[in-house]
Amino acid sequence: MAGNKQAIEQIVKWLASWKTGTPQKRAILLYGPPGVGKTVISEALAREHGWDLVEINASDKRSGEILSKVAGLASTQGSLFTKGRLILLDEVDGINLREDHGAVEALNRMIKETHYPVVLTANDPWDQKIRSLRETCQLIELKRIGLRDGLPFIKKILDKENVRADEDAMRLLLEKNNGDLRSILNDLQILSSRGENITSKDVYWLSGRDRTENIFNVLRIVFNAKTVAYAKRALGVSDIEPDMLFQWIIENTPYQIVNPKELSTAMDALAIADLFYARTRRTQDWHLVSYAYDLMTAGVAISKKTPVTGWVPMKFPQRIMAMSRSRGVRELRKNIGLKIGSKCHVSSRRAVQQYLPVLGLMFEKSPEEFARSAEWLGAKAELEEYFSFGQMGTIESKKTPTPRKPTTKSRGKIRAKASGSLE
């Protein structure tokens, strides 16, 4: 393995703890982007210790029943021919909760009962469906290789293969592949097949790979970038829409930038970016959106001067969560607006703004008049549902509010009202 010295030290320390008994964490979760060696490390550990390697790949079916049979038995039964066993569960974040029913529960149960070390790997450890596994395992991050470890590694490989390359070519190869070791080795194989000398021109003409990062790595780029160019790179490697990325950045900025003055500068940049977004939508002048992109990435990055101490988790945007919860209400309101608009010859937007409040008042004060109007509009069921449940929360909940116990004062008012003496 090249690079990730700190991670390897953590793994070695964890393995050593098995020699003195069963450690508190019986499994480790190796996480990081593709090509950093998560699976290779597991295979090297088993080979180095002379252990059997029991591997369940992402392509295998991984229902709770299958995992209980394969991994469960492997984790508790002894081995006839070797001194030990290592259990590898690859890409656990690829578990499909619908198809792999009961898989996460089976894994947690297996980890609690195992007599052997268990290694799990994941590209995205913060996936909500493997939350319980994060709590059960010791998390160890593997990062892409940098120049300090990458250049000697490439040179060592080339020396063994009797291939020469100048340092600029090796640097360009590392930069082009963004420290992805697997991709670097593949490119070296292609380049060396053309001759024994690799130049920067050869690397330059080598086609690049389309790469996308998960949202957490994209946010790390924004909040930890040291240059404007690197911060702007976040949009290029993100697989989500810029509008959505903006919501993620604005949600996490107060947690990632702790200095008040620096935070104020970053929020000013985001506020101006929001203005550019609004103006772009209003005028349809799309060249303006590039300013919003620069402000929400580079503008935030250059505002941060003081590093955050300790680990601060990224938070899901609250605005997106609120919109998701109210989606049923918004869709119902939209359908009502279309029906009213069609009947009254107005736009659906105007129908919602001007007609819906009147219908709401009728619903409360004059049920008979409301029923006649709703029937005429052809939206009686939708309007009743909207005014009964839609304004109290999501349509899906439809919970009846729990009646409060009357206080002494309110009980007195109720008795007075019943006797007709309440003013």
Clarify whether residues 155 and 45 are in a common domain. no
Domain annotation covers residue 399? no
Is 128 found in the same domain as 12? Answer: yes
Residue 68, pLDDT above cutoff 70: no
Q: What is the pLDDT of residues 154-210, one digit of tens each?
A: 889 888 888 888 888 888 888 877 778 888 888 888 788 766 788 877 787 665 555
Is 83 within 8 Å of 50 (Cβ atoms)? Answer: yes
8 Å CB contact between 155 and 148: no
Instruction: Provide the pLDDT for residue 399.
Output: 40
If asked whether residues 240 and 351 sit together in one domain, one would say no
Question: Do the domain assignments include residue 180?
Answer: yes
Among 89, 115, 141, give the residue marking a domain's end.
141
Q: What is the CATH number of the domain that holds 90?
A: 3.40.50.300
The verdict on residue 418 lying in a domain is no
Q: Which of 322, 354, 383 is the last residue of a domain?
A: 322
Residue 420 lies in a domain: no
Alpha carbon distances (Å) from 265 to 220, 268, 269, 302, 313: 19, 5, 6, 9, 22
Query: With left for phi above 0 and alpha for psi between -120 and 50, is residue 145 left, alpha or beta?
Result: beta
132 and 154: one domain?
no
Q: Give long-range contacts, CB 8 A cutoff, 24+ apart: 393-402.
A: 393/325, 393/329, 394/325, 394/326, 394/327, 394/328, 394/329, 395/328, 395/329, 395/332, 396/328
pLDDT given at position 411: 44
Closest CA to 17 of 7, 26, 6, 5: 26
3-state DSSP call for residue 121? strand
Number of structural domains the chain divides into: 4
- Is 354 among the domain residues? yes
Last residue of a domain, one of 305, 322, 339: 322
- Give domain status of residue 41, yes or no: yes
Judge if 343 and 384 occupy the same domain. yes
Find out whether 225 and 231 touch, Cβ atoms under 8 Å: yes
Read off the tokens for 381: 């069921």
Q: How far apart are CA 2 and CA 10, in angstroms?
A: 15
Helices (H), 165-241: 167-177, 181-192, 200-205, 215-224, 228-237
pLDDT band at residue 413 using 50, 70 and 90 as cut-offs: very low
Please write the tens of the pLDDT for every residue from 81-134. 557 888 888 888 777 666 666 778 888 888 888 888 899 998 888 777 788 888
Query: Do 46 and 123 share a domain, yes or no?
Result: yes
pLDDT(263) > 90: yes
Q: What percent of the chain is predicted at pLDDT more than 90?
A: 16
Q: What is the pLDDT of residues 210-228, one digit of tens each?
A: 555 667 778 888 998 888 8
Domain encompassing residue 45: 5-141
154 with 127, same domain: the answer is: no
The answer to whether residues 29 and 137 belong to one domain is: yes
Residues 32 and 91 in one domain: yes
The C-alpha angle 37, 43, 49, rounded to 5 degrees, equals 130
Cβ atoms of 73 and 109 closer than 8 Å: no
Using CB atoms within 10 Å of the CB of residue 4, give its burial: 0 to 12 exposed, 13 to 18 middle, 19+ buried.
buried
Residues 177 and 284 in one domain: no
Higher pLDDT, 422 or 357: 357
Residue 177's domain is classified under what CATH number? 1.10.8.60
pLDDT the model gives residue 127 = 76
Q: Give a yes or no: residue 363 inside a domain.
A: yes
Check: pTM over 0.85? Answer yes or no.
no
In a shared domain, residues 58 and 32: yes
- Asked if residue 291 and residue 339 are part of one domain, the reply reads no
Burial of 287 (0-12, 13-18, 19+ CB in 10 A): exposed
Rounded CA separation 229/106 (Å): 45
| Residue 135 is assigned to a structural domain of this protein | yes
Contact by Cβ (8 Å): 294, 320: no
